[in-house]
Amino acid sequence: MIGSVSTRWGRAGLLVGALLASAVLCTPASAAVPEARTGSGCPVVYFDLGETLVHTADDGGIGYQPGAASYLRALRERHIKVGLITNVPPSWGTTDAERAARLKHEVDAAWRGSAPFAWRDFGDRVLTPRTDAERKPAPVLWQRAKADSGRCRLVYQAETAEEVAVAASVGYVPYQVGQSHRPTFLPVGLVELLGRRQAR
């Protein structure tokens, strides 16, 4: 499976494949990826929201996807920044902040989880379409997030192959979540290693 991912997503897929293989084989990741840098890095992990971090039940209630809350907590404990790239109606506001506030309101109003969604972790890194033409899978939102991230290594995690492929095409390290043959989310240690590699 790793081979097919690498074929579709080019260098980013090869890197993820090497990292996952090293984890499975218990080989130090730095040996598997010799060009990994040892200096401090600044990875930023962007996510889709629906069916990636949260699930909407048949009754309309919303809660965390299995493992998502603990994964976000692990990223927070390692001081790894996170963001959302998600489709919402452009009519929800004239700025990302306004649309993000409406998104938060809609999610919180339907929330059924025992712990609230970790909105504070995302800060102002919630990107939403300004027009219908910017809606995913158009690459605009990923490009905007990339422009705001300087030289940081960017990761994108979502449940759909189409979205992770588009993210890879604009320079993100892609990871399709929820695949039975590998961890639900990209392991946090691998995210840290990716952050040590200088973004191009």
- Judged by average pLDDT, the poorest of 4-13, 68-77, 92-101, 136-145 is 4-13
pLDDT band at 15 (very low <50, low <70, confident <90, very high): low
pTM for this structure? 0.81
Show me where the domains of the chain are located: 41-195
Q: Which residues contact 131 (CB under 8 A, 6 or more apart)?
A: 90
Smallest CA-to-CA distance from 127 within 81, 82, 93, 85 is with 85
Q: What local confidence, expressed as pLDDT, does residue 113 receive?
A: 84
Superfamily of domain covering 41-195: HAD superfamily/HAD-like (3.40.50.1000)
Q: Is the model's pLDDT at 21 over the cut of 70?
A: no
* Contact assessment for residue 47 and residue 161, using Cβ atoms and an 8 Å cutoff: no
Task: Please report the pLDDT score of residue 197 as a whole number.
Answer: 66
State yes or no: pLDDT of 130 exceeds 50: yes
How far is it between the farthest Cα atoms of the chain? Answer: 50
pLDDT tier, 31 (very low <50, low <70, confident <90, very high otherwise): very low
Tokens of 137: 């899978």
φ/ψ of 36, rounded to 5, equals: -60, 140
Q: Is the pLDDT of residue 102 over 80?
A: yes
Residue 17 confidence (pLDDT): 55
Residue 191: φ, ψ to 5°: -60, -45
